[in-house]
Structure 1
Amino acid sequence: MEGATRVFAGDFSGATLTVPADDPGSPGWIVTPGGAWCRLLYLCGALTEVTEIADVLHCRLADPTGAFDIVAGGRMGAVAEQIRAIPVPSFIAVTGTAQLYTKNGSRAVSVRPEYIHVIDRAVRDRWIALTADMTLARLELLLASLEECTGDARADRTIRHYGLTRERLREMVSMVGGALDSARTAPAAPPVAEEDISAIVMEIIRAKSGPRGVAVQDVIDAGEAGGFTKDAVLAAIGTLVTNDDCYQPQKGYVKPL
């Protein structure tokens, strides 16, 4: 299963490069100036605005570097209903697909959400810290390719397309530093209560369940993407089974009752 990319809004919003996938049946990549190759994204931030136009929801998800455009509607009706129920503002986590389109003669990016849940500030801050680490690693790779001609094809393609310079890379490093500073200065948040974790895990099970239910590993992966440990997710599943909220139709699977 493909892992979700973590990227800051300040980087993603500048993306204008698309690269087709090797497999003709798979979606292509959206490449950011900071070297993130995006298809499936995992994002955390503040839901600050929700606007509905012709049954399509346009949402603003803000992180310390800017904002993502989250668009849900049409066949994403269940996700749209979930968004309508979330108070604004709220901290949320979004797993979704990166999209790039042409608007008024220029390119713009958005995210089509596949899964959304409400989180607290502590989860958001952990996302900032890990996204900062990943972004800095990508920037280091770009700098090495720029200075030493490492032969990294992806890095070279990114550098050529965006005309990257050392100064531009330093600006992106400063952006990351500002995001980290905002998380460090934010007031501490209490840990998520056990019953809240169980509720979120139950949402994951309902959202992902098919005729056979959903694989426990898929629930763990979604929970870890939301900032929870494997042990916490497994404990929540155990609680849900004990309380008859879900059951195990076969080994390794759970299904809502």
Structure 2
Amino acid sequence: MSEREVARRMFAREFNDSNLQQGESMDRSPNFIVTPAGVICNRVFIVGVLTEVENIGVEGQTMYRARIADPTGVFTVYAGEYQPSAALFLASAKTPAYVAVVGKARVFNPEKGAYYMSVRPEEINIVDEYVRNRWVYVTALFTLQAVRIMERAMESGLRGSELERHMRAFTADSAGIARAMDHYQVSTGLMDAYRQMVMDALATIVDAAPPEKREAAGDGMALAIIEDMIKRLDRGDGVSYEALLDAAHRLGYEESAVEKTLNALMDAGRCYEPRIGILKLI
């Protein structure tokens, strides 16, 4: 019996932007999808607000359609007779409510050029606001990592099998990276849009997650966020400390946390000051 695939975290926008189905040539089930960031995905783990539930079954059939919103968009979830526990949950669910879902990613392609993404749930549970916020933080970190890996792929100048072989040293999604590059015509602009998507998603939960909780989420998250802020704000001459601090404040980071993170980036050789008060990535 084969092992279950790991459920991948991703925001609704990236999920709904996907329309590339896994092919036989990659030695995977056809049920896999490849996202624009190159993530190969069969199962997803999502957390958001259950905003709508509708019974769309006909002639006595059981089929519920639900919509679950995260800060970037909406996931569409279908549960029928083959997902009995999820269907039972949705039958009595009250909206709005925070929920966590693990399920199979599906692409419906009724006609050329038309693609509809959905999730077939294996499990749905009620969660609280803290769990939702925590999911947003961790999903942001995974998304930024995927964006960086895709940018590394673009910088390589390689394509196809050469790119796949090159990226094996950096990610288990090397085959997805290679296919996504060609299928989605991945550009710097798209990756910048995903980076901005992450920042916007984090900004929506600042009031619900005070800085002390944010710092408790782990130094890894702060490093990823501050590093990407520098990259996003740098127009070629570096970023002023004041501009970075202002952007960080909008996400709820105090100056002490920014200072600590900058010191860690400098100690790791990932950031430097070409001039006093100006920051630049290496």
TM-score, normalised to structure 2, is 0.63
Q: How far 1:102 sits from its partner (Å)? A: 1.2
Q: How far 1:57 sits from its partner (Å)? A: 0.6
* CA distance 1:59–1:104, shift in 2 (3 Å): farther
Match among 80, 93, 105 for residue 98 of structure 1: 105
- The answer (yes or no) to whether the contact 1:98–1:111 under 8 Å persists in 2 is yes
Distance 1:138 1:174 in 2: 14
Q: How far 1:83 sits from its partner (Å)? A: 1.4
SS in 1 for 2:204: helix
Q: How far 1:160 sits from its partner (Å)? A: 1.0
Distance 2:135 2:145 in 1: 15
Per the alignment, residue 117 of structure 2 pairs with 109
Q: How far 1:23 sits from its partner (Å)? A: 5.2
Match among 162, 171, 178 for residue 184 of structure 2: 162
Does residue 123 of structure 1 match 2:145? no
Per the alignment, residue 47 of structure 1 pairs with 50
Q: How far 1:37 sits from its partner (Å)? A: 1.4
Q: How far 1:148 sits from its partner (Å)? A: 2.0
Distance 1:39 1:170 in 2: 25
Aligned residues: 188
**What is the aligned-residue RMSD (CA, Å)?**
2.0
Q: How far 1:174 sits from its partner (Å)? A: 0.2
Distance 2:67 2:31 in 1: 24
Q: How far 1:40 sits from its partner (Å)? A: 1.1
Supply the AA of the counterpart residue of 1:181: A
Supply the AA of the counterpart residue of 1:38: C
Per the alignment, residue 3 of structure 1 pairs with 6
Does residue 14 of structure 1 match 2:17? yes
- The answer (yes or no) to whether the contact 2:22–2:33 under 8 Å persists in 1 is yes
- The answer (yes or no) to whether the contact 1:93–1:119 under 8 Å persists in 2 is yes
- The answer (yes or no) to whether the contact 2:45–2:102 under 8 Å persists in 1 is yes
- The answer (yes or no) to whether the contact 1:7–1:36 under 8 Å persists in 2 is no
* CA distance 1:125–1:145, shift in 2 (3 Å): same
Q: How far 1:168 sits from its partner (Å)? A: 1.2
- The answer (yes or no) to whether the contact 2:45–2:103 under 8 Å persists in 1 is yes
- The answer (yes or no) to whether the contact 1:46–1:90 under 8 Å persists in 2 is yes
Unaligned runs of 5+ in 2: 158-162, 168-174, 211-282
Q: How far 1:3 sits from its partner (Å)? A: 1.7
Identity rate, percent: 33
Supply the AA of the counterpart residue of 2:12: A
Distance 1:103 1:88 in 2: 30
Match among 176, 189, 204 for residue 182 of structure 1: 204
Match among 65, 77, 85 for residue 70 of structure 1: 77
SS in 1 for 2:87: helix
Per the alignment, residue 87 of structure 2 pairs with 80
Task: String of CA shifts for 1:20-60, please: whole Å, max 9, x gaps.
Answer: 36557x45320111222110111100000011111311100
Unaligned runs of 5+ in 1: 189-257
Distance 1:131 1:114 in 2: 20
